[in-house]
Amino acid sequence: MHPTDDRRFLANETDDPLHEAFDRKMTVHAMPMGQSVRPEELPGLWADAMSAENGLPIRSIYIHIPFCETHCVFCGFYQNAYRSDLAGQYVDALIREMELTAKAPFINAHPFQAVYFGGGTPTALSAESLARLVSTVKTLFPLANDCEITLEGRIYNFTKEKIQAALSAGVNRSSLGVQTFDTQIRKRLGRRDSRKKVIETLTYLRDLAKAVTIIDLIYGVPEQSLEIWEDDIRTFLGLELDGCDLYQLNVFKGGLIEKSVAAGSLPRPATLREQADYYVRGIELMQAAHYRRLSITHWARTSRERSLYNFFSRGRSDCVPLGSGAGGWLGNYFFFVEGQLQDYLSAIKAGRKPLSFGMRRSEGDFLFRDISYQMELSYCDLKALSKRHDVDLLAILGPIISQWEKVGLVKLTDDCLYLTRSGEFWEVNLAQMLIDRLQEVP
């Protein structure tokens, strides 16, 4: 390939790479795309995957709960309004799906190291439903002794009764979307609880000391100033929880934020330049508090926080998807479970795994996953990956990486690329560009 063809992978020539290296963020997570498979192939592919008597030794189960009690304005993952009758039917169906899945040879080939209840809002379910789901997974699936069982959710309506039920059943990690402690901004975002209530619930969880508690905090939302962002982080630090994720607001095209700003009912969110400053301030505060950095966005205070499911999902692992809207890579295919709730319920009633979409691994997928995984950890070992995948990465990527180094986004030492602070802010762009460039190689 002629070097000039690399131009679309180059950064803007600037002395201020943090703010100006690129004009936009390319994606939320850098990932290779697979090739989609025809819907009629999906049942056969799933049956093949389930009958395999091996698979990767690293494996997880992802269980989706597609209900929310409110639609938060910043979120692109809302599916269905929570209704207790519907949620009850859904939990019955999910347990049926687990029963249909659990006897397969693949399931029993290795123990699972992580189970993740994600959504949606798993904590919207009743105490009884939470306990039933967790107990069923533990009974039906072979779990590793140190299996991380995460319950994702929010503070609203995560009552003491639900907390006790979930933890007693076996949840050993709660991941709660706090976003901000500022009561006013919380209300504008669609979050119902006040700062006081959020702190009370988190303190209760921490003092129980039964499970890891981590939270998400978001920067760049409308009305949030740098001072409010600093206060959010300091409040989190003062609570002495196990960890947190500091993540950037993504304004989804056609989403509620975009619509509300256009209608004048919400002030504009932070610009990308402003977000870069929030990002840097977040790191300064976390480092000053001596938190361990598990990835570019994720921080841990205690050694209890491992974030296994998130690491697995970025790297080489198998994931069994359960529930309407769940997805996961299994063997050489990605399977997505039917997201339309009624279609999902009817299929499960008929004893069928309802799959609505699938992808086949692209050529080089494991190399791209290795790159994406390492870049989230702030480096990319080109020498080791070249050896592992039998490809000369430096020969292909060298010209692009040199330009990034000149601009101040990366440092190359002994054929290993390390992200600078500015490079970390643009990590998704850099990782996606490495993958996109390699995908052009015949």
List residues binding ligand SF4 (CB under 6 A): 68, 71-72, 75, 77-78, 119-121, 154, 177
For 355-408, the DSSP string reads EEEEEEPPTTHHHHHHHHHHHHTTEEEHHHHHHHHTS-HHHHHHHHHHHHHHHT
Minimal distance, residue 313 CB to ligand SF4, in Å: 17
Cβ proximity to ligand SF4, 20 vs 216, nearer residue: 216
Minimal distance, residue 72 CB to ligand SF4, in Å: 3
- Pick from 362, 365, 354: nearest CA to 42: 354
Minimal distance, residue 117 CB to ligand SF4, in Å: 12
Cβ proximity to ligand SF4, 177 vs 321, nearer residue: 177
Cβ proximity to ligand SF4, 75 vs 137, nearer residue: 75
What count of Cα atoms within 13 Å lies in the side-chain half-sphere of residue 197?
A: 15
Cβ proximity to ligand SF4, 120 vs 327, nearer residue: 120
Minimal distance, residue 247 CB to ligand SF4, in Å: 12
Minimal distance, residue 217 CB to ligand SF4, in Å: 13
Q: Where are the beta strands (DSSP E) in 90-211?
A: 112-119, 143-153, 173-179
Given its phi and psi angles, is residue 417 left (phi above 0), alpha (psi -120 to 50 degrees) or beta?
beta
Torsion angles phi and psi, residue 433, rounded to 5: -70, -40
Cβ proximity to ligand SF4, 247 vs 373, nearer residue: 247
What is the number of residues in the chain?
A: 442
Given its phi and psi angles, is residue 338 left (phi above 0), alpha (psi -120 to 50 degrees) or beta?
beta
Minimal distance, residue 175 CB to ligand SF4, in Å: 11
Cβ proximity to ligand SF4, 219 vs 373, nearer residue: 219
Q: Taking every pair of C-alpha atoms in the chain, what is the biggest distance, in angstroms?
A: 64
For 195-207, the DSSP string reads HHHHHHHHHHHHH
Cβ proximity to ligand SF4, 73 vs 417, nearer residue: 73
Minimal distance, residue 249 CB to ligand SF4, in Å: 12
* 8 Å CB contact between 365 and 398: no
β-bridge mates for residue 151, sequence order = 117, 174
